[in-house]
Amino acid sequence: MDKNNRKAWLYLLPAILFLGVFMVYPLVDVFVYSFEEGYNSASQTFFGVGGYNYSYILHDPYFLQAVKNTFILVIITVPISTGLALLISVALNSIRPLRNLYQTVYFLPYVTNTLAVGLVFMILFKKTAYSDGLVNLLINWFGGQSVDFIDGPYWAKMFVLCFYTVWVVMPFKILILTGALASVNQDYYNAAKVDGTSRGRIFTRITLPMISPTIFYLVITGFIGAFKAYSDAVALFGTDLNAAGMNTIVGYVYDMLYGNSGGYPSYASAAAIVLFAIVLTITCINLLISKKHVHY
């Protein structure tokens, strides 16, 4: 190792130390826990080593429900939020008057606290003694039947959760995408215009490829973020998510550690590792797909 190399390592040491202690070690620890059967954090003892924790959670209906919920959430919200954000950004990019105002309005959800937003959604969707919520008022107005979005059928609850998630994650995406769109050289558009390119073709053949790295970044972080969803569900359906049938994987992990049924760190670890495996797989697939469609 030459001198420069030694110096580099020296400078990196503090970061490596902290990352090691607070990131790598816990990760490894979780992995170890997930194979220790019947681990008790008070006595620090366990019965044996094996795959029982995995077998348990994979047969736990609550976990399976959480996995199902999480996947539905991811599959619905990531494409919709990214697509909508793209649409809005393109629109924002092509208007001139009041652009800053719109940008601010679209960005508001981002700086608003999750629980405060949850409250707003309660007003919109929750049935109380006085009203059925704003959305139901609208439905009634159009002649429909009231739907209980918070304690009602599964699809209604899932709709609210997806709606909420899309609404919360979109501002950040809009912000990033408007930035990306603005940085595309105007000459490309002018060149395309002179060549007689239609608007649709300009969008698909020029705009999209030009901002593809940004879209890719948003999709990856969107997937990861949606897989880690938890607080949104709590804000809407309260802490007992299992009872509401709206738990997510991270919610399940939390419940196993601290919830009503808490005190099962081994199960929690196994669930966390399963989540990790899922996210890793999806991200790898994303990377493979991106090789073909992202132009740096």
Q: Binding of another protein at residue 96 (CB under 8 A)?
A: no
Comparing CB distances to another protein, the nearer of 184 and 279 is: 184
Q: Binding of another protein at residue 286 (CB under 8 A)?
A: no
Q: Shortest CA distance to 40 belongs to which of 271, 276, 267, 254?
A: 267
Strand partners, 49: 36
Exactly one of 1, 42, 101, 194 binds another protein (CB under 8 A); that residue is: 194
Residue 165 to residue 188: CA distance in whole angstroms: 35
Nearest approach, Cβ of 200 to another protein (angstroms)?
A: 11
Contact 65, 247 (CB under 8 A): yes
Q: Binding of another protein at residue 25 (CB under 8 A)?
A: no
Q: Binding of another protein at residue 94 (CB under 8 A)?
A: no
Nearest approach, Cβ of 193 to another protein (angstroms)?
A: 5
Nearest approach, Cβ of 183 to another protein (angstroms)?
A: 13
**Residue 115 token pair:** 């629980």
Q: Binding of another protein at residue 290 (CB under 8 A)?
A: no
Q: Binding of another protein at residue 295 (CB under 8 A)?
A: yes
Indicate the length of the chain as a whole number. 296
Burial environment of residue 143 by CB neighbours within 10 A (0 to 12, 13 to 18, 19 or more): exposed
Comparing CB distances to another protein, the nearer of 30 and 202 is: 202
Q: Binding of another protein at residue 190 (CB under 8 A)?
A: yes
Residue 68 to residue 140: CA distance in whole angstroms: 31
62-94: b or e for each residue (b if 16 or more CB lie within 10 Å)? Answer: bbebbbebbeebbebbbebbbeebbebbbebbe
* Residues from 202 through 221 that contact another protein (CB under 8 A): 205-206, 209-210, 212
Q: Binding of another protein at residue 7 (CB under 8 A)?
A: no
Burial environment of residue 271 by CB neighbours within 10 A (0 to 12, 13 to 18, 19 or more): buried
Nearest approach, Cβ of 289 to another protein (angstroms)?
A: 16
Q: Binding of another protein at residue 193 (CB under 8 A)?
A: yes
Comparing CB distances to another protein, the nearer of 104 and 198 is: 198
What residues make contact with another protein under the rule CB under 8 A? 185, 187-188, 190-198, 201, 205-206, 209-210, 212, 295
